[in-house]
Structure 1
Amino acid sequence: MTGHVRRRGGSSWEIKFELGADPLTGKRRIRYVAFKGTKRAAELELARLVAQNAAGEGVDPSKSTVAEFIERWERDWATANVGPKTLERYRQLLRLYVRPRIGAVRIQKLRAVHLNEVYSTLLRSGGQDGAALSARSVGHVHRVLHRALGHAATWGVVSQNVASLVAPPPVPDEEIKILTEDQIGAILRHLEGRTLRPIVSFLLGTGARRGEALAIRWGDVNFQKNVVRIERSLEQTKGSLRVKSPKTKNGRRSVTVSPWLAAELRSHRARQDERRLALGMGRAPDDSPVFAGWNGEFRSPSRLSHDFAAAMDALNIDCTLHGLRHTHVSQLIAAGLDVLTISRRIGHASPAITLNVYSHMFSNTDTRAADIMEATFAKIRGTE
């Protein structure tokens, strides 16, 4: 870094030095600092400031507001580094909850107290029509702010990430809702002959996520081995659908399906081919979605959730599509299947995640553990 000292009058000096290229735009950055004292003292201050910035401790004197920085962060970093769905969510959170409250604050004057005030206000009246915003949603706001302000600190725009000084509100534990066997039977009977039936059966029988199921193509189904490959997911953003890779390598997996579910899929394909032939489309090719819409294209994830919710309302059953995944896992746990196999089957990044989400269900097997040890001690006593 280079710089120089220029007299402004009397004992006043202007210290000028380079900060280096702007990380966001690549443009040259110059810093000006007013100083009073002797020329020698001003030169020493220049040397100190240059050394401070070279060590990464300096702060960009930009007068940007929080809103202005966020706009640049969205455009120059988030757009290139996160997926469309995540970007859409970031923009929504920042637009609805951050910009209206602290957007006008100079980013270098932003303090932890500002964020605490924002979170408190959102919890009281940040929702629709002035209703309280959930702690979970406020937590999402905190996480996107933490990420953006973390970059502001890394890039020298601010001296520290003030979001790291603030804790988001605690989120109450929510009970995972799972279906009983009677409810599963009622749902399948209610959906008989409807286009919802095949995918609901698949989600119940595999524990797949909604987007994963909607992205499966007929070429991924092996009826000889009763195995379905899950290698991609369908993501919906405003006005578009896109197929993307799983978040982790564990998301790519092969899932063995039961003979009952395999028969469901065969019947579904026969009905789908019959419909396609009636429309003059020919039989479904291998790259056609298994759970396609009437036109053979990918089915909308949000529309699927809406249709399922309507069916559950008609049955007076409290369950979401994701609840089918929980129900699948609960059945496996109740049957005594080990956590590693369950984790691999449902595509978790590690068994630790499975244990964290479903630990309360595994605790129900403690009585079985006591029974196992009782049988062991009985054998020992018999040999004494």
Structure 2
Amino acid sequence: MPKQDKRIEKYETKKGVRYRFKTYLGTDETGKAIKITRSGFLNYKEAKESFDLLRAKGLNEYVKAKQIKLDDLFQIWFDTYKLQVKESTAEKTRQVYINHLHKYYGNTYVDKIQQASLQKFVSTLPKELVNFRDVTSLLNRIFKLAISLNYISNNPLKNVIIPKKTARKRRDTTQNFYDKNELKSFLNAAQSTNYKYYVYFLLLASTGIRKGEALALTWKDINFSSNYININKTLAYGLHGKYVVQPPKTAHSKRKVPLSKNLKSELLNYQKQDTKNKYLFHTENGDYLRLTKPQQWLKIIYRKNPELKKITIHGFRHTFASILIESNPSIKPTDVQAILGHETVQMTLNIYTHATQKGKEKVLKQINDLDI
């Protein structure tokens, strides 16, 4: 039988025999002796393996590293991250941190954040957020940096149970669009309220472009001779709340959108009333409007016309697609995808489901009307 290491000591507990050891690793930079004690091993082999591993790793593994608070570590991570993404994406990520991680752990040293605390924190997120995994994903990335910088040796989030579903109900978007008659009623109301409001919402409903894409448009983007609108930029929230004009949401979002006869006529008329500015929609000083402006316009229209069905700004994009699909069954999902600038055809197919269901209801009504 091999000779046992005398530094591994056997001792008795109420639960039976256990093994332990003490060892000296050296001194830290302040001259303090580093002595390590481990106990509770079920057998000599386990204790010896742990002892040998500890000795092999040496002093550097166990000298207390410099501590860092989560706020400071996030800033280190964010300074690199923001160079790799669009400014609007960086700001959304920064807001996730500020709103959900800063207030809980921002002033806490990373090595003091424990699994039990994280489990409690993570378990509350689904009650507050639909996209709660954005928070856990961000925290995980910060912890990975902490490991690479030797602030911690293990990721405390690794064994935390992440809930599968949110407890918050997602907004029902199945009816977040107008049919042709509803759209006509809305546009009439918008026109009687304010001509600029009318042109803006007519533009959204006639092209399916996004809110920020519309607010970023210049007159040079409108090709009246070839009847198309060139979508090549969008207005978005930049870092710390400032506005930026950047490329559209995805590579597919750079596109040419057909210009209908009616929209062309209204835009030409609108241009005559505003010949001095390069932007279609702007402030009195000629700057870009705030992204919240269209929502304010929508609220004004609905307040003055309470009988109207209420949809969101994004609902006008859905409205355009639904009316387009319903008007011609031969139009393919890929055709609509190209106009909307969807990154995947699945996004477009989600709209098709609504539109084709409405078509089925019309067919059923026609069959009933045959009375046979």
- TM-score, normalized by length of structure 2? 0.71
Aligned to 2:172: 175
1:255–1:153 distance in 2 versus 1, CA, 3 Å: farther
**Contact 1:211–1:301 at 8 Å: present in 2 too?**
yes
Aligned to 2:84: 81
Q: How does 1:124-163 map to 2 (within 5 A)?
A: 133=128, 135-136=129-130, 138-153=132-147, 157-158=151-152, 159-160=154-155, 162=157
Give me the whole-angstrom Cα distance separating, in 2, the residues matched to 1:366 and 1:147.
46
Match of 1:271 among 270, 273, 281: 273
Q: How far is 1:45 from its partner?
A: 5.4
Aligned to 1:12: 24
Deviates more, 1:147-156 or 1:258-267: 147-156
Give me the whole-angstrom Cα distance separating, in 1, the residues matched to 2:63 and 2:321.
50
Q: How far is 1:259 from its partner?
A: 0.9
Q: How does 1:227-376 map to 2 (within 5 A)?
A: 227-237=228-238, 238=240, 240-273=242-275, 276=276, 284=277, 288-316=278-306, 317-335=309-327, 336=329, 337-355=331-349, 357-358=350-351, 360-361=353-354, 364=357
Q: How far is 1:313 from its partner?
A: 3.1
Q: How far is 1:15 from its partner?
A: 7.2
Aligned to 1:92: 95
Aligned to 1:191: 190
**Contact 2:23–2:37 at 8 Å: present in 1 too?**
yes
Give me the whole-angstrom Cα distance separating, in 1, the residues matched to 2:351 and 2:150.
42
Give me the whole-angstrom Cα distance separating, in 1, the residues matched to 2:351 and 2:274.
36
Moved over 4 A (4+): 32-37, 43-47, 58-62, 153-158, 365-368
For 1:96, what is the secondary structure of its paired residue?
helix
Give me the whole-angstrom Cα distance separating, in 1, the residues matched to 2:103 and 2:266.
51
Cα displacement string for residues 175-223 of structure 1 (whole angstroms, at most 9, x for unaligned residues): 2211233331222112225211111111001110011111121111111
Give me the whole-angstrom Cα distance separating, in 2, the residues matched to 1:91 and 1:144.
10
Cα displacement string for residues 253-273 of structure 1 (whole angstroms, at most 9, x for unaligned residues): 001121111111111111112
For 1:306, what is the secondary structure of its paired residue?
helix
- TM-score, normalized by length of structure 1? 0.69
Give me the whole-angstrom Cα distance separating, in 1, the residues matched to 2:346 and 2:64.
42
| Structure 2 residue 118 is matched with structure 1 residue 115 | yes
**Contact 1:102–1:114 at 8 Å: present in 2 too?**
no
Aligned to 1:20: none
Aligned to 1:206: 207
1:33–1:345 distance in 2 versus 1, CA, 3 Å: farther
Aligned to 1:65: 69
Give me the whole-angstrom Cα distance separating, in 1, the residues matched to 2:339 and 2:64.
49
| Structure 2 residue 162 is matched with structure 1 residue 166 | yes
Residue identity matched to 2:157: V
**Contact 2:68–2:151 at 8 Å: present in 1 too?**
no
Give me the whole-angstrom Cα distance separating, in 2, the residues matched to 1:154 and 1:179.
52
Give me the whole-angstrom Cα distance separating, in 2, the residues matched to 1:256 and 1:272.
23
Q: Please report the RMSD computed on the Cα atoms of aligned residues, expressed in angstroms.
A: 3.8
1:366–1:214 distance in 2 versus 1, CA, 3 Å: closer
Q: How far is 1:44 from its partner?
A: 6.9
Aligned to 1:22: none
Aligned to 1:5: none
Give me the whole-angstrom Cα distance separating, in 1, the residues matched to 2:311 and 2:126.
26
**Contact 2:333–2:352 at 8 Å: present in 1 too?**
no
Aligned length: 316
Aligned to 2:5: none
Q: How far is 1:36 from its partner?
A: 7.6
1:219–1:305 distance in 2 versus 1, CA, 3 Å: same
Aligned to 1:376: none
Give me the whole-angstrom Cα distance separating, in 1, the residues matched to 2:359 and 2:304.
37
**Normalized per residue, which structure has more helix?**
1
Give me the whole-angstrom Cα distance separating, in 1, the residues matched to 2:151 and 2:165.
27
For 1:160, what is the secondary structure of its paired residue?
coil
Q: How does 1:33-44 map to 2 (within 5 A)?
A: 34=35
Deviates more, 1:357-366 or 1:240-249: 357-366
Give me the whole-angstrom Cα distance separating, in 2, the residues matched to 1:114 and 1:359.
45
User: Taking every aligned residue pair, what percent have the same amino acid on both sides?
Assistant: 20
Aligned to 1:280: none
